[in-house]
A and B are shown apart, each in its own frame.
Chain A
Amino acid sequence: GAVVSQHPSWVICKSGTSVKIECRSLDFQATTMFWYRQFPKQSLMLMATSNEGSKATYEQGVEKDKFLINHASLTLSTLTVTSAHPEDSSFYICSARGDRENSPLHFGNGTRLTVT
């Protein structure tokens, strides 16, 4: 089955630093990947849609300069949280859809970000 690998699983960083999260589709090509944020006991909140070779599409209220997305290849998308603050602490999940019309979303394992 389709596998999405997300790295790192958890990261602790100091306020003001930047953190990069990688999302890879291991056995399929993903022209589109999605980045979600999830608060405790809540649903997934779509942050942005990452498109290979073009700019990401951000959801309303998501700061594009703070959450930089790069989708340089058909198997890799990265999310960089720039100048992180404690309020950015959260669980971030990436996903990609398979290439068939009825394909579901395949999710990475998520990244727990803690900003101190």
Chain B
Amino acid sequence: AQTVTQSQPEMSVQEAETVTLSCTYDTSESDYYLFWYKQPPSRQMILVIRQEAYKQQNATENRFSVNFQKAAKSFSLKISDSQLGDAAMYFCAYRSPRTGNQFYFGTGTSLTVIP
């Protein structure tokens, strides 16, 4: 099974500031997909951003962007201009086309936004 590691159990950021959440993964494959999901207190899992491994360009979605370093197997999430509504658990996920449809999740990072 693939391993997805989030080394920061908890992070905090001042409102309007920028924060980066780390994610690394272990794989021998060259083709795969990476995702960041957000789980607010409602516990609904919400897709934040996705990245295809074959794309060199880092994905961006408004205030959210990733730093995808394929050689280092790193996939960090940067949140700019943090807002109170960004407070949530964030999960990094990996999916390989070759292991069926299974997604592998990291252990999560709890993000607190300080007003």
What residues of chain A have their CB less than 8 Å away from a CB belonging to chain B? Answer: 32, 34, 38, 41-44, 46, 49, 91, 93, 95, 97, 101-102, 104-107, 109-110
* B103 adjacent to A107 (CB under 8 Å): no
Docked CA distance A110–B47 (Å) = 15
Partner of A102 from the list B52, B102, B103 (CB cut-off 8 Å) is B52
Residues on the A chain within 8 Å of B75, using CB: none
Residues on the B chain within 8 Å of A41, using CB: 89, 108, 110
Q: Report how many residues on chain B are interfacial, defined by Cβ distance under 8 Å.
A: 23
Partner of A43 from the list B44, B97, B105 (CB cut-off 8 Å) is B105
Distance in angstroms from A112 CB to nearest chain B CB is 8
Interfacial residues of chain B within 68-115, with CB under 8 A of chain A in the complex: 89, 91, 93, 97, 100-103, 105-108, 110
Give the tally of cross-chain contacts (CB within 8 A).
52
4 more CB-based (< 8 A) A-B contacts, given A34-B101, A41-B110, A101-B97: A43-B91, A93-B43, A105-B93, A106-B47
Partner of B91 from the list A44, A95, A102, A106 (CB cut-off 8 Å) is A44
Distance in angstroms from A100 CB to nearest chain B CB is 11
Taking A41-B110, A42-B108 as contacts, is the C-beta distance between A110 and B44 under 8 angstroms? yes
* A32 adjacent to B101 (CB under 8 Å): yes
Distance in angstroms from A98 CB to nearest chain B CB is 10
Residues on the B chain within 8 Å of A110, using CB: 43-44
Partner of A95 from the list B45, B52, B106 (CB cut-off 8 Å) is B45
Residues on the A chain within 8 Å of B52, using CB: 102
Residues on the B chain within 8 Å of A102, using CB: 33, 50, 52
Residues on the A chain within 8 Å of B91, using CB: 43-44
Residues on the A chain within 8 Å of B108, using CB: 41-43
Interface flags, B43-73, vs A, CB<8A=1, else 0: 1110100101000000000000000000000
Distance in angstroms from A34 CB to nearest chain B CB is 7
Partner of B101 from the list A38, A43, A49, A107 (CB cut-off 8 Å) is A49
Distance in angstroms from A64 CB to nearest chain B CB is 17
Instruction: Check: B35 CB closer than 8 A to any chain A CB.
Output: yes
Docked CA distance A44–B50 (Å) = 18
Taking A44-B91, A105-B93 as contacts, is the C-beta distance between A91 and B43 under 8 angstroms? yes
